Amino acid sequence: MTDFRPGGEPNAAGGGHHEGARELWVVRLGTMPYGEALELQRTLAAERIVGTIPEDLLLLLEHPPVVTLGRSAKKSHLIASPDYLRSRGVEVFEVERGGDVTFHGPGQLVGYPIFDLRRHRADLHWYLRQVEQSLIDALADYEIPAERNTGFTGVWTRGRKIASIGVHVRDWVTWHGFALNVTTDLSYFDLIVPCGIDGVMMTSVELEVGDSASPTVADCGYRVANSFGKVFCLEPVEVSLGTLTAGIT
């Protein structure tokens, strides 16, 4: 399996590259407005459905402050008023993903896996558990004891929630995904009832590792790409957005 290391080039590890291995195309997008990323996901998912894009994708990025409401979101879980949200520069989107309300913003690693589950297992519950496992394994690199919380989707550590997950599937192709708090300003979560869970405490990689490390979104991205590759038995390969879109236009 290929391991990514800061610097942008994959390094062979664990036996090196295997000829014929299915690939995971990792696309790093930097900071992108939510609306732009949403339309990009929908476009890429459509191309994945028809097979124009031959491999699974993992988009990694950050968003400016935004609150998103999934299909099961309750309006009462958006605590802040529209005026207050505007005063803090927070956009609001209603989207097709599952789940309730969540926040995305600077210092948070957002990942959008665009996977064809027919190449893995056509089982949404299995897929969600695999996404959780990928994040749990990545957090283990920071010696953070991450785990599932029975009855909820997402990843917790020491009783606090560190990652949220919400997905959409059409023709067994996924989009939307996960949000891992790295150096996120957690005060933004006071604007909502995160994921509709009353009393939930949010945390971040930065808070959990304390002074022992200085985590960055970029470093977390490399670790998450590695763990997704291992959990889904894919070979991670970095692909630029320009190269990807050039192949479908």
67 beta partners: 92, 103
Structure tokens at 195: 């994921």
Q: Which of 8, 25, 54, 45 is nearest to 235 (CA)?
A: 25
94-133 burial code (b ≥16 CB/10 A, e <16): ebebbbbbbbbbebbbbbbbbbbbeebeeeeeebbebbbb
Terminal CA-CA length for the chain = 31
- Has 220 been annotated as catalytic? no
The alpha carbon torsion through 162, 155, 108, 63 (nearest 10 deg) reads: -130
Residue 82 has phi, psi (to 5 degrees) of: -55, -40
Q: Which of 45, 138, 195, 202 is catalytic?
A: 195
Quote the CA–CA distance of 93 and 204 in Å, as a whole number. Answer: 23
Structure tokens at 123: 């089982």
Enzyme catalytic residues = 195
